[in-house]
Structure 1
Amino acid sequence: MLAGLIFATEDAEDRPDALAATLPFGGGTLIEYQARLLSAVGVAHLLVAVSRVTPALLGATSRIAGRGLTVDVVRSAEEAAAKVHPLAQVIVVADGLVTTDAVIEWIASESHEALLVSRDGDGAESVERVDSSHSWAGLARVPAKRLADVAAMPADYDFQSTLLRQSAQARAVQLLLPAATARTRHGVERNAASLLRRSKSVLAALGDRRTAWIDRLVFTPITGWTLPQLVARGVPGWGMIAAAGAGVAATLALFYLAMPAAALGVAVGTTAILSTGAMLSGLRGEDGLARVQERAIAALAAAAVLLLGVGGWRAEGTATALALAVSLVATAALAERAPAPRRRWWATPAAYPLILLPFAIGGVATIGLAAALAYAFATLGSAIEALRAKP
């Protein structure tokens, strides 16, 4: 069982009336971003350690609770120890910490008590020193009994610092944060302007978890550039859906006008909008909206393939293109449903409009459909073999 403990006690450096945890980040507040990362690794119970409660903090914790997490606001280690399940493993997040989902997953996957540390000179804004050459990098995994150990200490001891010392004295495993991550995507920030600069790198990293080649080469670079801009401008989720809706309408209209190359080009652009919109919605905790946009990518790709087949049928007077299109959609759907680990070269729905685009430009859409179908068959065959290889 995993629980989370986020510290939200320090004031922002440039906004003394606000807590650092409630500074804007990722379209919400920093604490909401931290909670989203914890929720993604299976945390269902969240403790928020505070010294004072502000209206902004109340609003943030209410929104976090509205997304399915149980949230308890605590003022001391004694309260935290009383609230947490005695068998829970607690992921501790330092006050003002900015990090990525990959780092959170790393420490959550540890089977032992662990501290994330950085070397001196790595560029990370660390919390405090652990030994002569390492500092705590703001994340820890501790058993629930460690909170009870801190609760037994004098009440005037700093909760966060004492928890770190107790864990270090218990010989927690030290995980060394990679220097590149420390410089750009991980650190403690309590200044609104510095947090905004850090957010651009962190937000750009969100697309790195998508492993398919189409995402790596096309959509992740687009998302990495546009997502920070959208967040900074406060673009709402429905705005991305409206833009994608216009793209879908334009795609259908161009197919109707027998302009398949232009239609596929617009479909690729619309897919990029949906991909970025899904990431933006996920960042804001709108998971349902994110799933809708992910499914819309597959639906748009299927519609584009089928309409290309219909256009080939009308232009050539034979059903070859249509048969290839139907076969492609069916094969791609089967490959997507295969519960096998994804390989980078595999096809995804987003890839098909881009693959078909150069063939449509060259006026050989039927050949493009045949090539895409062969690619889909190769993906499906590889998925089947991967499933057969499982013990």
Structure 2
Amino acid sequence: MPLAALIVAQDQTDIGDGLRATLPLAGRSLIEYQAGLALAAGAEHILILVERVPAALAQAVDRLRRGPARVEIARSLPDAIDRLHPEERILLVADGVIAAQGAVDRLAGAAPPALLVLPDSPEHDDFERIDATERWAGFALFGKGFLENTAQMLGDWDLGSTLLRRLVQDDAVRIAALDPGAETALPAPMLVTGPAALGAIEAGLLRRADAGEGNWTELYLHRLVATPLIGPLVGRQVDQSLVAWAATGIAWAGALLAAFHLFWGTVLLLPLAAAAASAGRRMARIWGGTAASLAIPTLARHGAAFAALLLLARMLAAEGGWGWWMVAALVPASLLGLAALEPIVAAIRPLPSPRWQASVDALLWIAPLLAVLGGWRWMLAALALYAVAGFLERFVAAWKGARFCDK
């Protein structure tokens, strides 16, 4: 059954524009973080229950709508019920509440009705008590019929408290938000009451920016060049798509210089564009499923690099013969073959790619050094050799994997 997230945003008298949902977090807002938890748990429909929509919330909703999920605003509970499909399971996220992704995933995978619970201890006093031993962690799972029945009896009562009371009466499954049996302890849920409470969450989000995989360029070089840009860009609320398109613009400026045979400017601008694109990817990694796709600007940037390669091949062929067209063709052909082999290797026998594996960005970064050491001809030949070596490594890995499966 499909999963929908119902995120409650209630008015508060002591917070900025009156909504916890719009508290700033890593260049975005708390409600985008809540939506990200739901999206990662499998939600395909995000419904925000809020009486009024200040500018900050409208901007957050616009950003969420660039993602894969359907995002709607409901001004009242009856309005929210009308927007929900009868077959949807509803993941309730209370106002200002966050929890560990693992806990939300377990709740989303349970049979409704279910709720996330915490032990009744002094550090959890902000959460509503269920009984003498447990408190509600602010997340629950139920069906549309359950929500409709609750709305009929709501009256002047608080939605969260009424839902909790009905969940307890219906013997909802209680899922521990803190799993003592897990290999890694889950962070405790938090009720965000103000900006000061978001510092630790923001630090954790920013740690997502560092890539845990990839070739040497992304892991080492871009970590030194692009990572320092993340904090200032996020702090100024710059969207990662703008960074990606800026990288594309820099790359095409390099291609334009190549059209005038100013190749030294080209080989300097293209690595700069690669670093800017890495910053955009790292910013998108911070927000995961709520971030807009960067596929189109990435393809456009690679197109600029390919255009510069064609212009260089034309110059070398005019001076040294048509064979340089063949050498240049090896670069995109090998990279395309490499991209085609990756899913094959993963399907046959998953083998990690070596750190030295060729990529567009790796070729762009070593090009200036090769040009200084050997000139344009040796640079192009070395780039082609590097790309072919990467393709052959994956081809051998696929061949060995196929033989291993046959045995």
TM over 0.5: yes
Three-state SS of the structure 2 residue aligned to 1:160 is helix
Partner of 1:63: 62
- What letter matches 1:73 in structure 2? A
- What letter matches 1:295 in structure 2? L
Partner of 2:297: 293
**Is contact 2:338-2:394 (8 Å) kept?**
yes
Q: Which of 188, 192, 212 matches 1:189?
A: 192
- Deviations along 1:111-159, whole A, 9 cap, x unmatched? 54565567899x9998456788876655454444543464466545533
1:276 and 2:271 aligned:
no
Partner of 2:173: 171
1:267 and 2:270 aligned:
yes
1:377/1:321 CA distance change after superposition, 3 Å: farther
**Is contact 1:115-1:173 (8 Å) kept?**
yes
Deviates more, 1:148-157 or 1:364-373: 148-157
Q: CA deviation at 1:220?
A: 5.8
Taking only the aligned residue pairs, the percentage that are identical comes to 25
Counterpart-to-counterpart distance in 2, 1:198 and 1:368: 42
- What letter matches 2:86 in structure 1? P
1:235 and 2:235 aligned:
no
Q: CA deviation at 1:352?
A: 3.1
Counterpart-to-counterpart distance in 2, 1:278 and 1:132: 47
Q: Give the number of aligned pairs.
A: 379
- What letter matches 2:85 in structure 1? H
Using the size of structure 1 for normalisation, the TM-score is 0.71
Partner of 2:214: 212
Q: Which of 250, 253, 271 matches 2:257?
A: 253
Q: How does 1:364-383 map to 2 (within 5 A)?
A: 364-365=378-379, 366-379=381-394, 382=397
Q: CA deviation at 1:8?
A: 0.6
**Is contact 1:325-1:369 (8 Å) kept?**
yes
Partner of 1:95: 95
Partner of 2:45: 45
Three-state SS of the structure 1 residue aligned to 2:48 is strand
1:386/1:231 CA distance change after superposition, 3 Å: farther
User: Can you give the 5+ residue segments of structure 1 that lack an aligned partner in the other structure?
Assistant: none
- Deviations along 1:196-235, whole A, 9 cap, x unmatched? 6643531442565x74234344446755542332132243
Three-state SS of the structure 2 residue aligned to 1:21 is helix
Partner of 2:7: 6
Counterpart-to-counterpart distance in 1, 2:120 and 2:395: 48
Three-state SS of the structure 2 residue aligned to 1:95 is coil
- Deviations along 1:60-89, whole A, 9 cap, x unmatched? 58636864725141544x665554223212
Three-state SS of the structure 2 residue aligned to 1:190 is coil
Q: CA deviation at 1:98?
A: 5.4
Counterpart-to-counterpart distance in 2, 1:337 and 1:202: 32
Three-state SS of the structure 2 residue aligned to 1:48 is strand
**Is contact 1:117-1:136 (8 Å) kept?**
yes
1:351 and 2:355 aligned:
no
Three-state SS of the structure 2 residue aligned to 1:329 is helix
1:298/1:153 CA distance change after superposition, 3 Å: same
CA RMSD of aligned residues (A): 4.8
Partner of 1:19: 19
**Is contact 1:41-1:104 (8 Å) kept?**
no
Using the size of structure 2 for normalisation, the TM-score is 0.69
Three-state SS of the structure 2 residue aligned to 1:6 is strand
Partner of 1:159: 159
- What letter matches 1:373 in structure 2? V
Three-state SS of the structure 1 residue aligned to 2:360 is coil
User: Can you give the 5+ residue segments of structure 2 that lack an aligned partner in the other structure?
Assistant: none
Partner of 1:30: 30
1:384/1:347 CA distance change after superposition, 3 Å: farther
